[in-house]
Structure 1
Amino acid sequence: MRSFTLSTKWTALFVLFTALCCLFTPTVTVKHELFKTCDQAGFCKRNRAFADSASATGWETPYKIAPESLSWKNGQLQGTILKTINKNGETVRLLITISFLESGSARVTIDEEKRQKGEIDLRHNSKARKERYNEAESWAIVGGLELSKTAVEFRDAATSTVKYGPDGKFEAVITYAPFGIDFKRDSATQIKFNDRGMLNVEHWRPKIDKPEPEKKEGEEAPAPEVQTGEDESTWWDESFGGSTDSKPKGPESVGLDITFPGYAHVYGIPEHAGPLSLKETRGGSGNHEEPYRLYNADVFEYIMDSPMTLYGAIPFMQAHSKDSTVGVFWLNAAETWIDIIKQKEAHNPLSLGIGSRIDTKTHWFSESGLIDVFVFLGPTPKDVTKAYGELTGYTQLPQEFAIAYHQCRWNYNTDEDVKDVDRKMSKHQIPYDVIWLDIEYTHEKEYFTWDPLQFPDPIGMLKQLDKSERKLVAIIDPHIKNNGYHIVEDLKKKDLAVHNKDGNIYEGWCWPGSSHWIDCFSPAAIKWWVSLFKYDTFKGTMHNLFIWNDMNEPSVFNGPETTMPKDNLHYGNWEHRDVHNINGMTFHNATYQALLERKKGEIRRPFVLTRSFYAGSQRLGAMWTGDNQASWDHLAAAFPMVLNNGIAGYPFAGADVGGFFGNPEKDLLTRWYQAGAFYPFFRGHAHIDTRRREPYLAGEPYTGIITRALRLRYALLPAWYTAFHEASVDGTPIIRPQYFEYPGDEAGFAIDDQFFVGSTGLLAKPVVKEGADSVDIYLPDEEIYYDYFDYQKYSGRGSKTISAPLEKIPLLMQGGHIIPRKDRPRRSSGLMKWDPYTLVIALNKEGSAKGELYVDDGETFDYQSGAYIHRSFEFKDGVLASMDIGKKGKLTDKYLKTMKGVRVERIIIVGAPKEWEGKKSVKTGKGEAGLEFHGEEGGKASWAVVRNPGVAIGENWKIEF
């Protein structure tokens, strides 16, 4: 491998270059030459070529099941697939296991038979593991693997059929030759494996060194050998960007085509900057030429509407058609590409296109590892996300402060700077919960240290924040500065770093210059990492300091594609190529574990932000969409990205408000805060060389408008926290795309610029276009919708124009919902803890409404022992009732005592019936409370308000109107 070294001077120049780009380039684009196209990735090019061969007339897939090998036991079908590898009929044996799970999901794994000792000569890397990587499950899967007790199998000469799932409505038909699987629901095919014959398992083969042709003196060099069979040029090594990747195991990619018959829309496979409904990838008007790529990388200044890789990878896809959703999860941690094509299929040859359907045909291929695919047959979007969450875990229920507003930039310069920002936010009555520190707080980029000149008193800084229940988040990255400081010396002494292909500690370059990377696949490394966060070890930290993990793809400035060489070695001697997309999650996990154990007896829910992620990262904390730009198109792109993350099981997501690169003009900054108020993770962040843009610096009217957007977020924190709770128990996204809530409404399947917030009935469409003073919101039904702010009424299915001057956020309340709020403005969410509630009742056409509220201490894990309130509210026939829907635990009574004084101070009924006019009171148990009625005016709904009804939030009660 050709290598080069960098100096600290180079690092400084790199930072200066990024700053200049940020300051002087109004529109920046990704440096494409740093990242591979499919043609530059050997296995991608081979699998696409294989797909082209499979599409040719007369193609016969070389894979078939040996029927005599099949065995069925306890919900699992096992057998052997024979792959014919040459014209002589020689075959390679592959093991297939099809598992039918108690949850109703199915799993298909295909692996090579175990290789015999001495069968492999890893001459270029004697330390690498010989078998295919098979440990992705241990990181991604946490449950849901119990085999079905009711699945039954039937077999004939050509197929094996398994009935499984709820009431036996699911069916898998396994065809022996050519090999394929049809997954059916209610007898209709929903998903097909190997329908187009693109199954491809590049089997192990020995490397045969071909002798160089002799050149006799006086003769010209012989012409290069003409390639007649497979392209072997990238089997054993591959070069890109001045680096050479050795491949001691040779070609070992896996590929499979997965077809969704009758499904025109597919979603998911984050992270990509593009629309919610994924585009085709093999050309055509408005489509992509490249496949969607999943290969976690530090993509500097990423562009819009692109299938190229970004920071995270979740290989989970949903397909949706009218009233039906299905999904697949491709469990593979290696670099993965996905092609998508959509073809119109006529029902019969005489239909002339009338009654035809669209089939979405996908092709998945990964560089190494197994074929390991889970199948979810729905039929609803919620069924699919729930089944996926049973496997990979539901999203973390975070501390309540984590879903409030975070103030960040690279960098706050000193501890006095932090305290000054904190004071000014309070002075201007702008709520926020967290202030953040980027890398400059450290002593010369040495993590677990503080710069002694700029941050001489971190404890004093933290104590000031704590007075207002505010927190500090500090960045800690996986690269450890290689300069002899005690952390790196301990890392080397204990041999806990990633190794290079020769088995020596790997050295690369990142922010500190020369660096080593902790290997968090190692249990010993995790244990060591946990020890570094103890309060008496990480000096200057307190209970209100939390952590941000950046650069964990991993980002390596002088590495191939700005990341680590694929032939590096991790714990267990697995190559980095095998585990790359999981790497970021392992570091995130280690930091999560560390925050659990900072002090004996002090167990709070961790908050750890990550940039790189994989399936399962949702269990550990929030993510953000990386280094976006201060532009309107990046503002617009954030919602489709966050929505796709949500339906892929990772809803705690957001984008840098204001854009990381560049200086947003004030209208853009203001609109971005209005949009950010609807990100599940809500943080303002900016590059080191951007102008300061704390909200109080914007000036009027901008500061006032931004403050109102922030206060809206804080007022609705009870509704947001309830939505987070729902996501934590069943995987339902926190902000939900139109198709998720209305799966039968085809007009909404591609809408990705408006969304519902939890189960609240709030329908939001923040302004994301420059100069817009109105938006068109699509209403999916005939229900009444009310403007959140002035109760203007809208009804009738279809598009409605809503006025949206700069000070206005387009936000509607769908009739039939009850929304919990806290209306008293405070400096932070922690200071709202004992505040009373307001219930907003938006009546539907029938004059009824329902809603929920979930409350706990917002901090500890006591809710797992019953320390929470979970209430259902219902307004029906003139009666508002509060009912307990929680489960009692050992801490329930104790918690309810602490909440006894928390009351409902106001009830607002929007769409109040006209007959209430003149009514002065309502009955509340043994007493009465006053009622104010306001009639309809200028298209605005009538509304009524009840003040101080004298009911507690944690008790059962009824109010009669």
Structure 2
Amino acid sequence: MVKEHDFKKCNQAGFCKRNRQLADTAAESGSSWTSPYALSPDSISVKEGQVQATILKTINKYEETANLPITISFLESGVARVTVDEEVRQKKDIDLRHNSAARKERYNEVEHFAIVGGLALDKGAQVTSQDKLQMTVKFGPSHKHEAVIQFAPFSMDFKRDGQSQVKFNDRGLLNMDHWRPKVETVVDVKFEDEEDAQKPEGEPEIEKVKQEDESTWWDESFGGNTDTKPKGPESVGLDISFVGYDHVYGIPSHAGPLCLKETRGGEGNYAEPYRMYNSDVFEYILDSPMTLYGSIPYMQAHRKASTVGVFWLNAAETWVDIIKSKESRALGMGSKTSTQTHWISESGLLDVFVFLGPTPKDLSTKFSELTGTTAMPQEFSLGYHQCRWNYISDEDVKDVDRKMDKFKIPYDVIWLDIEFADDKMYFKYDENMFKDPIGMSKALDEHSRKVVLINDPHLKKKDGYYITDNAKSKDLLVHNKNNDVYEGHCWPGGSHWLDAFNPAAIEWWKEQFKYDKFIGSAPNQFTWNDMNEPSVFNGPETTMPKDNLHFENWEHRDVHNLNGMTFHNATYQALLSRKQGELQRPFVLTRSFYAGSQRYGAMWTGDNQAEWSHLGAALPMLLSQGISGFPFSGSDVGGFFGNPDKELQTRWYQGGAFYPFFRGHAHIDARRREPYLAGEPYTQIITEALRLRYSLLPSWYTAFHQAHVDGTPIIKPMFYTHPNEASGFKVDDQLFVGSTGLLHKPVVQEGQETVDIYIPDDEVYYDYFTYDIISTQKGKTTTLAAPLDKIPLLMRGGHIFPRRDTPRRSSGLMRFDDYTLVVSLANDGTAEGDLYVDDGESFDYEEGQYITRKFILDDNAITSVDAEGRDPKSIVPGEWMKAMHMVQVSKILVVGVPNSWTSKKEVEVESDGRTWTAPVDFVPAEKGRAAYAVIRGLGVRVGDDWAVKTT
């Protein structure tokens, strides 16, 4: 288990402790507490959707102030942004540590890495009122949004339709540690009468020194490591209240429930704040606010029919406290609950975006406009990935490949962990074990399969290792506080770290992936970025010292949570550049991430354990990733550490078939557990789960495309799909897949042979495998049989989704197979759905080389039209589209058909000016099973408009 004492609690992080104590003091003082921050009305200027002013922070009773410039930006999207900085610090005024090269100003470059758009100002925003106390700005669509800015003490109230939604500093916890000089020696001045004491001339900080604990201002020790702080304390803190909201979600990644818990103690609550400080947390514990490998400081609050959110744009170590507050309503109408949060970061700007919804989909769209959508993946990456630490040779790889085929188990990718590299020197195969890596890749390519190689940011310190030598000679490595190349320990032993904040380092990294440099690499090889938090075995909290220096002399403390994303980006760019003219989409898996990492690939939840509890914890974690903008996510199937028994392994494959990223993985000390080793009946049951995944790949790919277009989660929790159903707001153990209407609940308990699945509405649901009608009241659960060979999977009425029914070895071999459409009729007899398909590997879709269809069943006809209204004949087909011209929708399965179909033997089909008939097989309803019909031999091209008339 993780050694919790190796990682800080809030009271062991000086800045967190100080800000939490401020919250305690404010709470104890009650109404007598006054925030020392006031916006100067005389400093206000308003121009084209932006308010600029100065906040004055009163430092002490002598009314000394620090000046904090504030910019409030109202964006065209209806999002608001509040940014508070500190007046530019003059180098000559700062007594920095000897030889320090650290930058002097607050870190202000997170936007450069995380934000890609959505910053256009709402030039129609209007100041609708202003007096000596406050001003009001209306903004957003139809000016339905308001920001009420109170001057003294400074606070903000964000409203929608006249109702308060989000408040800043209404509890008075705003805090920005202002710059102050370090006083090496403090004279112990005592006054007989403190009330009459005069401030000693030339000693401006005496009063502060006497009252505050400076023990962590200038340096701080933990676990035998000392962090020196040349700029002194520079934390930022702010209380953010969600008015009338009882449920909050987001701020991944944490191993806890989707609906975030309170953090100030009490039954069932946490005693510690949620922490975001990307770390290598070995064998992480569950139901905890401890930090994990990545962080997205984005939180959304939800109540019936309303969703709002905030994005805290700060890459330093951050803690978030959450408490609930009940307020009595007038006239005895009960009470409403608000959620009060307290955000605390060690350094950087106070920079917060506010999203006023009102729907979860609105938030997904607006957040993705800012940080980008998930990269459109290669289709192979949605298949099954076979991995362990480690496949030890190219013969080992080919043996696994042969056995997967022998047992008819589909898969797309086999992975190589750190042992593939010669003495842990990445970009260099171990020639004793991998004698012919090109031959290995070619053997996989024969069945359209790929290989993924690990590539970590640490470079082995070894004379003569050309990668490290070259990077060092070009000054592309992270430096220590003395501005020398930093050395720490990781898998290779003594190591240096690539500084991917440096644009020159990215350009250099791209060169290393070219086929003529990375000997043994091939076009069907892709990359896994592990350990990029960064993990440093002998570093503080198993990571890099905060006083290390990155490009342009920013301290590591300022950029820590961005580090993994910069390396992820560098590798993504490298795979794009391997060979001129070879423009296939990269696939890069990352362990560490930040807001925006979705633009570069996939993530997984790290080093989980082969235990039932970790199987249960996976889905809430992945749902949190999806609603926070990074939906291409997965969890190690089977558990990384330990040896799952065969029941657990089987159930994990059944659940993993519904993870966006589907990979089996195991530790080097774990027993081999490839699916064919499980034995019967387990191997066959696992194979059926894998085949289910492969048959539904067209639907998964369509969901990924939707995520790529507008940030929609790929797997969705109940509050997202049914935002008005309060009984589902805490449900996090089941999911909907894309817009298919497929509702899945994994079995996560040993020996369990039934599941209680929550039904969020009054629509009809059908069992995916038997077509049984599932009936229960809206907002209630119903019990489904789930023996070991049965996956609990329902089809919600009203949907049409595509699948491919011919079993194949890999997704690439399914590329030109015909489609089946599955239609689940709604209570009103209608249904609709989508299909998106492109070549699955290139960027030709950006040039219109794709097929996108809208399927509708209504008025006794099933129709297919271009989802974007394009005329198919207006598209000049490339090679792939020419091949797709012969791919058909060969079959339609209609579940829930009415009795009028009893005598139906055929249907009329129309397409491309022609009319013909297709046969129908009708099966009447029986013993709770819905009637269904199979329309065979349609002969319609998937990319054409067509209609099937059912009367």
**Quick check: 2:478–2:485 contact (8 Å CA) kept in 1?**
yes
Instruction: Give the whole-Å Cα distance in 1 for the aligned partners of 2:260 and 2:185.
Output: 44
1:437 partner letter: L
The match for 2:224 is 242
**What pairs up with 1:742-757 in 2 under 5 angstroms?**
742-757=722-737
For residue 367 of structure 2, give the secondary structure of its aligned residue in structure 1.
helix
For residue 657 of structure 1, give the secondary structure of its aligned residue in structure 2.
coil
The match for 2:147 is 172
The match for 2:643 is 663
Shift of 1:355: 2.0
Deviations 1:144-164 (A, max 9, x none): 000012211132221111101
2:132 partner letter: A
Shift of 1:560: 0.1
The match for 2:902 is 917
> 1:54 aligned to 2, 10, 26, which one?
26
**What pairs up with 1:553-952 in 2 under 5 angstroms?**
553-795=533-775, 796-797=777-778, 798-886=780-868, 887=870, 892-894=876-878, 895-925=880-910, 926-952=915-941
Instruction: Give the whole-Å Cα distance in 1 for the aligned partners of 2:120 and 2:14.
Output: 38
Shift of 1:898: 2.6
**Quick check: 1:775–1:810 contact (8 Å CA) kept in 2?**
yes
Instruction: Give the whole-Å Cα distance in 2 for the aligned partners of 1:67 and 1:948.
Output: 74
> 1:434 aligned to 396, 413, 416, which one?
413
Deviations 1:553-601 (A, max 9, x none): 0000000000000000000100000000000000000000000000000
> 2:303 aligned to 321, 324, 343, which one?
321
**Structure 1 spans left out of the alignment, 5+ residues:** 1-28, 215-224
Q: Tell me, yes or no, if structure 1 residue 192 matches structure 2 residue 167.
A: yes
Instruction: Give the whole-Å Cα distance in 2 for the aligned partners of 1:100 and 1:375.
Output: 10
**Quick check: 2:374–2:629 contact (8 Å CA) kept in 1?**
yes
**Quick check: 2:477–2:497 contact (8 Å CA) kept in 1?**
yes
> 1:135 aligned to 109, 118, 138, which one?
109
Instruction: Give the whole-Å Cα distance in 2 for the aligned partners of 1:609 and 1:896.
Output: 29
**What pairs up with 1:38-77 in 2 under 5 angstroms?**
38-55=10-27, 56-57=29-30, 58-77=32-51
Deviations 1:309-349 (A, max 9, x none): 0000100000000000000000000000000001111113x
2:24 partner letter: D
Instruction: Give the whole-Å Cα distance in 2 for the aligned partners of 1:312 and 1:186.
Output: 36
**What pairs up with 1:98-137 in 2 under 5 angstroms?**
98-137=72-111
The match for 1:423 is 402
Instruction: Give the whole-Å Cα distance in 2 for the aligned partners of 1:186 and 1:104.
Output: 13
> 1:79 aligned to 53, 70, 80, which one?
53
Instruction: Give the whole-Å Cα distance in 2 for the aligned partners of 1:314 and 1:124.
Output: 35
Instruction: Give the whole-Å Cα distance in 1 for the aligned partners of 2:541 and 2:881.
Output: 54
For residue 579 of structure 1, give the secondary structure of its aligned residue in structure 2.
helix
Shift of 1:124: 4.2
For residue 129 of structure 1, give the secondary structure of its aligned residue in structure 2.
coil
Deviations 1:472-521 (A, max 9, x none): 00000000000111111111111110000000000000000000000000
Instruction: Give the whole-Å Cα distance in 2 for the aligned partners of 1:828 and 1:898.
Output: 19
**Quick check: 1:865–1:892 contact (8 Å CA) kept in 2?**
no
Shift of 1:117: 3.9
Deviations 1:819-864 (A, max 9, x none): 1000000000000000000000000111110000000000001101
Shift of 1:893: 3.0
Q: Tell me, yes or no, if structure 1 residue 181 matches structure 2 residue 156.
A: yes
The match for 1:219 is none
Instruction: Give the whole-Å Cα distance in 1 for the aligned partners of 2:99 and 2:175.
Output: 25
**Quick check: 1:868–1:892 contact (8 Å CA) kept in 2?**
no
Instruction: Give the whole-Å Cα distance in 2 for the aligned partners of 1:289 and 1:403.
Output: 39
2:117 partner letter: G
Instruction: Give the whole-Å Cα distance in 1 for the aligned partners of 2:89 and 2:479.
Output: 25
More moved, 158-167 vs 676-685: 158-167
**Quick check: 1:472–1:545 contact (8 Å CA) kept in 2?**
yes
Shift of 1:213: 8.9
Decide whether aligned partners of structure 1 residues 124 and 321 sit closer, same or farther in structure 2, where only a CA change above 3 A counts.
farther
Decide whether aligned partners of structure 1 residues 831 and 110 sit closer, same or farther in structure 2, where only a CA change above 3 A counts.
same
**Quick check: 1:124–1:246 contact (8 Å CA) kept in 2?**
no
Q: How many residues align?
A: 920
Instruction: Give the whole-Å Cα distance in 2 for the aligned partners of 1:857 and 1:152.
Output: 48
Instruction: Give the whole-Å Cα distance in 1 for the aligned partners of 2:96 and 2:632.
Output: 43
> 1:357 aligned to 300, 315, 336, which one?
336
2:12 partner letter: Q
The match for 1:285 is 267
For residue 670 of structure 1, give the secondary structure of its aligned residue in structure 2.
helix
Q: Give the CA RMSD over aligned residues.
A: 1.4
**Quick check: 1:649–1:731 contact (8 Å CA) kept in 2?**
yes
Deviations 1:357-387 (A, max 9, x none): 1100000010000000000000000001110
Instruction: Give the whole-Å Cα distance in 2 for the aligned partners of 1:720 and 1:633.
Output: 27
For residue 852 of structure 2, give the secondary structure of its aligned residue in structure 1.
strand
Q: When the two structures are superposed, what TM-score results if normalisation uses the length of structure 1?
A: 0.95
Shift of 1:918: 1.8
Q: Tell me, yes or no, if structure 1 residue 157 matches structure 2 residue 132.
A: yes
For residue 325 of structure 2, give the secondary structure of its aligned residue in structure 1.
strand
The match for 1:273 is 255
1:770 partner letter: E
Deviations 1:213-268 (A, max 9, x none): 99xxxxxxxxxx99851221100000000000000000000000000011000000
Instruction: Give the whole-Å Cα distance in 1 for the aligned partners of 2:861 and 2:239.
Output: 56
**What pairs up with 1:404-415 in 2 under 5 angstroms?**
404-415=383-394
The match for 2:946 is 957
Shift of 1:126: 2.3
For residue 739 of structure 1, give the secondary structure of its aligned residue in structure 2.
helix
More moved, 762-771 vs 744-753: 762-771
The match for 2:198 is none
Instruction: Give the whole-Å Cα distance in 1 for the aligned partners of 2:589 and 2:897.
Output: 44
**Quick check: 2:91–2:104 contact (8 Å CA) kept in 1?**
no
2:882 partner letter: K
The match for 1:477 is 456
Instruction: Give the whole-Å Cα distance in 1 for the aligned partners of 2:527 and 2:881.
Output: 32
2:62 partner letter: N
Instruction: Give the whole-Å Cα distance in 2 for the aligned partners of 1:897 and 1:298.
Output: 48
Instruction: Give the whole-Å Cα distance in 2 for the aligned partners of 1:800 and 1:313.
Output: 36
**Quick check: 1:501–1:568 contact (8 Å CA) kept in 2?**
yes
1:190 partner letter: Q
For residue 72 of structure 1, give the secondary structure of its aligned residue in structure 2.
strand
**Quick check: 1:115–1:131 contact (8 Å CA) kept in 2?**
yes
Percent identity between matched residues is 66
